[in-house]
């Protein structure tokens, strides 16, 4: 067993237009002041890092690491959720996602896909230059509009979607293998990879690629009604990253999993700050520790009620208090009576 690292903070939800939230130096110093030991950096956010430079310049990568160190934190991982999302976009979402890409390629789905794949490769290269071994991503979604269909799906639709998803991701995984970097998918509603079964369907199509791994986030499983503790037991060997994010699901006679088109505050399933929802984090940390997970516990703040700065400060202490410093001895060692072949044979009367 190994002790989980942390606490870390995912910076994506805290980037803003005013200090200290508008720069890498300001945000890392603020995170350290909140009690964090590490930060997870979104590569799509130009106010935090220049991805092109990080992907091509070891000196720039060292500069970023140095700035983090001066602030009192280290960079835990890079995250490319949005770029991963844009690797595969169903045409129903073209207009919605065009706002996340350079203006020159808006309205050009093929160019957007090429840009997203290039961004994923650059995130992998930047991670290697930073001495990191994992990145976070979404899978993208071609089949999601058909997740609960009417009229029924035509035969072969899902298979075709997953074949294409695998075709787009396989070269990215091969590049990640060359660089020694894992691509960790956050299983998330809205993505084709949103639960264990869909992840397995994808793995089969990429020949169980060793770099196609998982970011474990129990909040998304609470909202799906999936057993988030059993999920750890099933996929422990594939889990390389961990988000500490809470959620609650309290269905009633008027609303259930789909939320009735309500905003987050009014949904019966909603994200909460760590400790305010229904996730049993004591059990989560215990299971991850027992399975030998030695990555970072990274707070991803998303809450329908609490102010983000309060959630961040409370989340640091919450996570730190849940990290289990693993034991280097068995609790009953004090009662040991010696061992060895001679002793064992004597005890057995041999």
**Distance linking the first and last C-alpha atoms of the chain:** 35
Q: 94: exposed, middle or buried (C-beta count within 10 Å: 0-12, 13-18, 19+)?
A: middle
Q: Which DSSP string do the residues of 3-26 spell out, in sequence order?
A: PPEEEEEE-GGG--SSTTTTSHHH
What's the CATH code of the domain at 37?
3.20.20.150
CB 24 within 8 A of CB 64: yes
Tokens describing residue 222: 């609470």
pTM, full prediction = 0.95
Helix (H) or strand (E) holding 241: strand 239-244
Query: Domain containing 62: what range?
Result: 5-347
Contact 246, 306 (CB under 8 A): no
What's the number of domains the chain is made of? 1
Residue 158 in tokens: 């899902």
pLDDT in tens, the chain (350 residues): 899 999 999 999 999 999 999 999 999 999 999 999 999 999 999 999 999 999 999 999 999 999 999 999 999 999 999 999 999 999 999 999 999 999 999 999 999 999 999 999 999 999 999 999 999 999 999 999 999 999 999 999 999 999 999 999 999 999 999 999 999 999 999 999 999 999 999 999 999 999 999 999 999 999 999 999 999 999 999 999 999 999 999 999 999 999 999 999 999 999 999 999 999 999 999 999 999 999 999 999 999 999 999 999 999 999 999 999 998 776 666 667 677 888 888 889 98
Q: Tokens 């190994």 correspond to what residue?
A: 2
Query: In Å, how far are 60, 106, 180 from 129, measured between CA atoms?
Result: 9, 30, 11
Q: Quick check: 34 and 65 in contact, CB under 8 A?
A: no
The enclosing H or E element of 342 equals helix 341-347
């Amino acid at each position: 067993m190994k002790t989980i690292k942390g606490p870390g903070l995912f910076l994506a939800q805290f980037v803003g237009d005013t200090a200290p939230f508008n720069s890498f130096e300001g945000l890392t110093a603020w995170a350290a002041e909140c009690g964090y030991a590490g930060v997870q950096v979104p590569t799509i956010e130009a106010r935090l890092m220049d991805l092109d430079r990080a992907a091509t310049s070891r000196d720039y990568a060292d500069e970023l690491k140095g700035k983090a160190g001066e602030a009192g934190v280290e960079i835990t991982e890079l995250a490319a959720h949005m770029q991963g999302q844009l690797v595969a976009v169903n045409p129903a979402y073209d207009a919605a996602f065009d706002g996340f890409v350079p203006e020159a390629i808006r309205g050009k789905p093929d160019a957007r896909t090429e840009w997203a794949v290039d961004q994923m490769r650059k995130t992998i290269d930047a991670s290697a230059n930073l001495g990191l071994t994992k990145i976070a991503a979404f899978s993208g979604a071609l089949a999601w509009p058909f997740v609960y269909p009417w009229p029924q799906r035509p035969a072969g639709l899902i298979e075709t979607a997953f074949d294409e998803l695998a075709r787009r991701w396989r070269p990215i995984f091969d590049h990640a293998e060359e660089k020694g970097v894992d691509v960790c998918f956050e299983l998330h509603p809205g993505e084709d990879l949103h639960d264990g079964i869909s992840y397995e369907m994808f793995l089969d199509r990429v020949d169980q690629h060793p770099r196609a791994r998982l970011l474990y986030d129990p909040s998304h499983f609470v909202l799906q009604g999936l057993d988030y503790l059993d999920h750890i037991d099933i996929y422990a060997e594939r889990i390389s990253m961990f988000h500490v994010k809470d959620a609650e699901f309290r269905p009633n006679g008027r609303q259930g999993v789909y939320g009735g088109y309500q905003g987050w505050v009014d949904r019966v399933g909603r994200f909460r700050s760590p400790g305010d929802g229904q996730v049993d984090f004591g059990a989560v940390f215990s299971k991850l520790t027992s399975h030998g997970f030695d990555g970072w516990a990274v707070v991803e703040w998303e809450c329908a009620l609490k102010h983000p700065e309060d959630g961040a400060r409370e989340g640091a202490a919450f996570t730190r208090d849940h990290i289990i410093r693993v034991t280097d001895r068995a609790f009953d060692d004090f009662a040991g009576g010696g061992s060895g072949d001679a002793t064992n044979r004597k005890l057995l009367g041999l």
